[in-house]
């Protein structure tokens, strides 16, 4: 039954999300299957969809079914064996009140994990794909996760909000074409002393990761980031089996 309810919640939330102002769709209450809440109820105000507020036209977005395959790939259960998300999060030594920008959030693989360990903090899930943001937004609303905000990025601008404590970038930089420009923009958006956490695939023939031609050597990666007003604080080459783990400070 739950497998049927989730898509229904998704459909209703995003019907209401992009509905016109004279429509009053019924929203399922988070965690209460089969119960609906009228959007005109003062105790449960209508959802003001952040995607619509950021100028995203729902008519231009891919159907949920087209996006689901990629979401399933990112969220596959065997990924945790080598991605080791809990190990990464533990290494950050979070107090629970930080503000984190998850740049290239994808399906929210790390965003929701960060949200869980930041009861007094906030997570900005940032991605260039509106379909991924739609998925994260739906999942957060349906699951009652209130400390995640989605932000649409551009190819040349990650759109990190000012004042964040940590910018987390996992398996993203090798996708960026104009890396120098992108890193300079990222640097300009971060406050002095903020941390930049970079996870990228190691060089070599590995069971996971992109083709060798797309990989960036660790030395080149460190030098490239250092050129944009960052100082390397931590390098843990053995923390992850297939990826480097680097922590920088904005100078």
Buried b (16+ CB within 10 A) or exposed e, 18-40: bbeeeeebebbeeeeeeeebebe
Average pLDDT over residues 73-93: 96
Average pLDDT over residues 205-220: 93
What lies within 8 Å, CB to CB, of 109 at 6+ separation is 74, 75, 79, 83, 85
The pLDDT of residue 10 is above 60: no
| Separation of alpha carbons 225 and 250, rounded Å | 10
Which pLDDT score, from 0 to 100, does residue 55 have?
Answer: 73
Which pLDDT score, from 0 to 100, does residue 132 have?
Answer: 92
Which pLDDT score, from 0 to 100, does residue 226 have?
Answer: 98
Average pLDDT over residues 137-153: 95
Element (H, E) at 70: helix 64-74
Each residue of 147-193: pLDDT tens digit? 999 999 999 999 999 999 999 999 999 999 999 999 999 999 999 99
Domains and CATH numbers, the chain: 2-69 (no CATH), 76-250 (3.40.50.150)
Instruction: Give Cα 110 to chain centroid, integer Å.
Output: 7
Percent of the chain with pLDDT over 90: 70
The pLDDT of residue 44 is above 60: no
Confidence class of residue 60 from pLDDT cuts 50, 70 and 90?
A: low
Range with top average pLDDT, 29-38, 64-73, 108-117: 108-117
The pLDDT of residue 6 is above 50: no
| Separation of alpha carbons 230 and 3, rounded Å | 45
Closest-CA residue to 9 (of 31, 35, 27, 23): 27
Which pLDDT score, from 0 to 100, does residue 235 have?
Answer: 98
Average pLDDT over residues 60-81: 84
Phi, psi of 98 (to 5 degrees): -75, 160
The pLDDT of residue 210 is above 60: yes
Considering only residues 74 and 43, tell me which one the structure prediction assigns the higher pLDDT: 74
Mean pLDDT of the chain: 83
| Separation of alpha carbons 200 and 198, rounded Å | 6
Q: Is 146 exposed, middle or buried (0-12, 13-18, 19+ CB in 10 A)?
A: exposed
Which pLDDT score, from 0 to 100, does residue 39 have?
Answer: 37
| Separation of alpha carbons 224 and 247, rounded Å | 14
| 189: helix, strand or coil | helix
Considering only residues 116 and 4, tell me which one the structure prediction assigns the higher pLDDT: 116
The pLDDT of residue 198 is above 70: yes
Neighbours of 155 (CB within 10 A): 12
């Amino acid at each position: 039954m739950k497998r049927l309810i989730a898509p229904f919640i998704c459909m209703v939330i995003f019907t209401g999300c992009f509905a016109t102002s004279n429509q009053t769709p019924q929203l399922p209450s988070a965690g209460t299957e089969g119960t609906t809440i009228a959007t005109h109820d003062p105790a449960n105000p209508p959802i003001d969809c952040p995607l619509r507020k950021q100028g995203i036209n729902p008519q231009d977005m891919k159907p949920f079914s087209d996006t689901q395959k990629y979401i399933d790939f990112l969220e596959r259960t065997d990924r945790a064996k080598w991605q080791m998300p809990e190990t990464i999060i533990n290494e950050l030594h979070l107090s629970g009140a930080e503000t984190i920008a998850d740049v290239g959030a994808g399906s929210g693989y790390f965003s929701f994990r960060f949200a869980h360990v930041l009861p007094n903090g906030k997570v900005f899930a940032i991605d260039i794909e509106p379909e991924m943001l739609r998925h994260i937004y739906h999942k957060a609303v349906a699951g009652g996760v209130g400390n995640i905000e989605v932000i649409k990025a551009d190819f040349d601008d990650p759109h990190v909000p000012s004042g964040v404590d940590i910018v987390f970038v996992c398996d993203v930089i090798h996708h960026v074409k104009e890396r120098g420009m992108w890193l300079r923009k990222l640097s300009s958006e971060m406050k002095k002393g903020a941390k930049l956490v970079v996870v990228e695939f190691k060089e070599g023939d590995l069971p996971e990761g992109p083709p060798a031609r797309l990989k960036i050597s660790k030395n080149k990666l460190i030098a490239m980031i250092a050129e944009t007003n960052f100082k390397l604080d931590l390098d843990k080459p053995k923390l992850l089996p297939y990826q480097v783990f680097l922590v920088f400070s904005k100078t």
